[in-house]
Amino acid sequence: MQQSAEFHTRVEHALANGQIKASFRSAMDGLMAKRKAAFPDTEALEILRLHGAQIRANSLSKLPELLEQLEMNCHKNGIQVHWAESIEDANNIVLTIMQNHQADLLIKGKSMVSEEMELNQFLEQHGIECIESDLGEYILQLAGEPPSHIVAPAIHKSRQQIAHLFNEKFPDIPYSDDVDRLTRNAREILRKKFYAARVGLSGVNFAVAETGTLCLVENEGNGRMCTTVPPVHIAVTGIEKVVEKLEHIPPLLKLLCRSATGQTITTYFNMITSPRKLGEKDGPEEIHLVLLDNGRSRIYEDDELITTLRCIRCGACMNHCPVYARIGGHAYGSTIPGPIGSILEPQKAGLDKLGDLPTASTLCGACAEVCPVHIPIPKLLNRLRYERTRNDHAGATLGQSSGRTVMEAGTWKGWSWVHSQPRLYRLAMYIITRLRKLLPQRIGPWTQVRKAPHIAPKTLHELALKEGFNDK
């Protein structure tokens, strides 16, 4: 886990890289325009967002009951449910399933929870090969890099970089930087893996408690391959992804697809309710659902921070964030980057580890304006900044008060004290205005990119008195 200095180094590195900045700028501009075109009627959009927020808030308010209902219905349908407190637990559950089937190859659909678990590294330590099958994720796996965007993971890479990467890894395939050709090459390579793998893994976009159904949203067909062809399917998800009713799915799907990429709908919406039934000719014979907590139940304890858990992972907040567009996804150093990552990840890992992320924001509010489920992201960023420096030890946030320094706390205590003593305050202001030329011109990071503040020759009190205002 990162410390402050590493974060700042990565940010500086990203800001100095013109190619990264250009890639993100053009991709984000495109995604913003597409989202806007997908919601031509602003009034209808606002109604839909309110509806989405209500559905998610309602599901969270009944979370323990809905998880039990989901588990019961999954069992009834033949899906095996596993609960994991931590990523270690979740990784071990997946490993045990792999070992029970003597499987040495796992074919994976896109799953941010598996990224959170660092599942690939874990399984590889146990001699199991993991293959990412989403095109973007596959490119990154070849490059040995993590995703830089939750919806478009390889957005930071240029076509030429990808072409060179393929050429380096598969020298037998002729070099091409044509997107169609590269896509076709990946299809041919991965088709053999889908064919061979005994276990497939996917994430979950929505889990429906009422019916025990796992819903997956995708365009490529790799998610369907992973959940259809191998005899065993493992789905990993966070406990917050449960939704109460099936009727809640159409509005959430509409919000998700249009907010994420401006598509009316994705190519595939895959709803899985049971393993292969008697007489059916394909589909997995076994399905396992792994429900991961990893700090989510702690976020759940706080009536304000709980709204973090409404997220449906559309990525619209990062597409619209001026900070994300400039530093890119890798600079954050967390599984999920951007505004939602800056509130979610520090709560999971602790403010002592990722406490800088809530400061990587201008609080411009663009994220909250586009969030399809009305997460008040700027408010939560402020709240986490406060949690990082408060020291009354109230509340459940991990790493609370870890950013508090004696110097800063002392300064503000002094400031507060001076402001409560009128005579002292005036004396202090008098001295500061008279000695303004002696004040330092270099004040830490502030003056690295700005001029020092210019102090007036007389205090506001003096000027007001001179103008005849009564001081009583």
Partner 1 sequence: MTNNARDAILQRLQNSQPSFDNSDKPVSVETPEWPIKERIEQFKSILESVRAEVHLAHPDHWTDTLKSLAKKKQLNNLLYAKKGPLGKMIEDSWDNTEQPVLVNNEGPISEWKESLFFHIDAAVTSSRAAIAETGSLVLWPTEHEPRSWSLVPPVHFVVLDANKLYNTFAEVVEHEQWQQDMPTNALLISGPSKSADIEQTLAYGVHGPTDLIVIVLT
Which residue's CB is nearer to partner 1, number 289 or number 429? 289
CB of residue 102 vs partner 1: minimum separation in angstroms?
17
The C-alpha atoms of residue 184 and residue 173 are separated, in whole angstroms, by 11
Query: Which token pair is 28?
Result: 């984000």
- Residue 39 backbone class (left: φ over 0; alpha: ψ -120 to 50; beta: rest): beta
- Residue 317 backbone class (left: φ over 0; alpha: ψ -120 to 50; beta: rest): alpha
Which residue's CB is nearer to partner 1, number 281 or number 450? 281
Contact call for residue 189 and partner 1 (CB under 8 A): no
Do residues 202 and 227 lie in contact, with contact meaning Cβ atoms separated by under 8 Å? yes
From the list 157-165, 328-336, 361-369, 401-409, the region that binds partner 1 by CB under 8 A is: 157-165
Contact call for residue 424 and partner 1 (CB under 8 A): no
Which residue's CB is nearer to partner 1, number 179 or number 435? 179
Using CB under 8 A as the binding rule, the residues of this chain from 290 to 309 that contact partner 1 are 291, 293, 297-298, 300-301, 303, 306
Contact call for residue 376 and partner 1 (CB under 8 A): no
Contact call for residue 379 and partner 1 (CB under 8 A): no
Calculate ∠ Cα 161-313-385, nearest 5°: 100
The C-alpha atoms of residue 272 and residue 288 are separated, in whole angstroms, by 12
The C-alpha atoms of residue 453 and residue 241 are separated, in whole angstroms, by 48
Contact call for residue 198 and partner 1 (CB under 8 A): no
Do residues 283 and 275 lie in contact, with contact meaning Cβ atoms separated by under 8 Å? yes
Contact call for residue 170 and partner 1 (CB under 8 A): no
Can you say how many angstroms the Cα of residue 121 is from the centroid of all Cα atoms in its chain?
Answer: 20
Contact call for residue 136 and partner 1 (CB under 8 A): yes
Query: Which token pair is 293?
Result: 């907590």
Q: Tell whether the torsion through CA atoms of 277, 283, 285 and 290 is positive or negative.
A: negative
Which residue's CB is nearer to partner 1, number 266 or number 334? 266
Interface mask toward partner 1 for 54-83; x: CB under 8 A = x--xx-xx-xx--xx--x----------xx
Element (H, E) at 86: none
Do residues 124 and 302 lie in contact, with contact meaning Cβ atoms separated by under 8 Å? no
Using CB under 8 A as the binding rule, the residues of this chain from 328 to 367 that contact partner 1 are none
Query: Which token pair is 129?
Result: 């090969």
Question: How many other CB atoms are there within 10 angstroms of residue 407's CB atom?
Answer: 8
Contact call for residue 102 and partner 1 (CB under 8 A): no
CB of residue 350 vs partner 1: minimum separation in angstroms?
17
Element (H, E) at 439: none
The residue from 219, 389, 402, 433 that contacts partner 1 (CB under 8 A) is 219
Do residues 286 and 229 lie in contact, with contact meaning Cβ atoms separated by under 8 Å? no
Which residue's CB is nearer to partner 1, number 2 or number 263? 263
The residue from 2, 158, 382, 401 that contacts partner 1 (CB under 8 A) is 158
Contact call for residue 184 and partner 1 (CB under 8 A): yes
Contact call for residue 121 and partner 1 (CB under 8 A): no
CB of residue 419 vs partner 1: minimum separation in angstroms?
36
Using CB under 8 A as the binding rule, the residues of this chain from 81 to 100 that contact partner 1 are 82-85, 89, 92-93
Contact call for residue 210 and partner 1 (CB under 8 A): yes
The residue from 106, 117, 119, 154 that contacts partner 1 (CB under 8 A) is 154
Using CB under 8 A as the binding rule, the residues of this chain from 253 to 272 that contact partner 1 are 253-254, 261, 264-272
Alpha-carbon Rg for the chain, nearest whole angstrom, is 26
Contact call for residue 101 and partner 1 (CB under 8 A): no
Contact call for residue 162 and partner 1 (CB under 8 A): yes
Do residues 294 and 238 lie in contact, with contact meaning Cβ atoms separated by under 8 Å? yes
The C-alpha atoms of residue 371 and residue 316 are separated, in whole angstroms, by 7
Which whole-number Å values give the CA distances from 104 to 98, 101, 127, 208, in the listed order? 7, 9, 7, 31
Instruction: Judge residue 64's burial from the number of C-beta atoms within 10 Å of its C-beta, 0-12 exposed, 13-18 middle, 19 or more buried.
Output: exposed
Contact call for residue 107 and partner 1 (CB under 8 A): no
Contact call for residue 202 and partner 1 (CB under 8 A): no
Contact call for residue 44 and partner 1 (CB under 8 A): yes
Contact call for residue 142 and partner 1 (CB under 8 A): no
Contact call for residue 251 and partner 1 (CB under 8 A): yes
The residue from 191, 413, 426, 458 that contacts partner 1 (CB under 8 A) is 191
Do residues 234 and 286 lie in contact, with contact meaning Cβ atoms separated by under 8 Å? no
Contact call for residue 327 and partner 1 (CB under 8 A): no
The residue from 171, 279, 445, 468 that contacts partner 1 (CB under 8 A) is 279
Q: How does DSSP assign 257-301, residue by residue?
A: HHHHHS-SS-SEEEEE-SSPPTT--SS-SEEEEEEE-TTHHHHHT
Closest CA to 347 of 238, 210, 467, 466: 238
The C-alpha atoms of residue 90 and residue 83 are separated, in whole angstroms, by 8
Contact call for residue 274 and partner 1 (CB under 8 A): yes
The residue from 91, 141, 211, 335 that contacts partner 1 (CB under 8 A) is 211
In the block, residue with structure tokens 């062809």: 229
Which residue's CB is nearer to partner 1, number 203 or number 403? 203
Using CB under 8 A as the binding rule, the residues of this chain from 226 to 245 that contact partner 1 are 228-229, 231, 239, 245
CB of residue 389 vs partner 1: minimum separation in angstroms?
24
Contact call for residue 250 and partner 1 (CB under 8 A): yes
Residues constituting the chain? 472
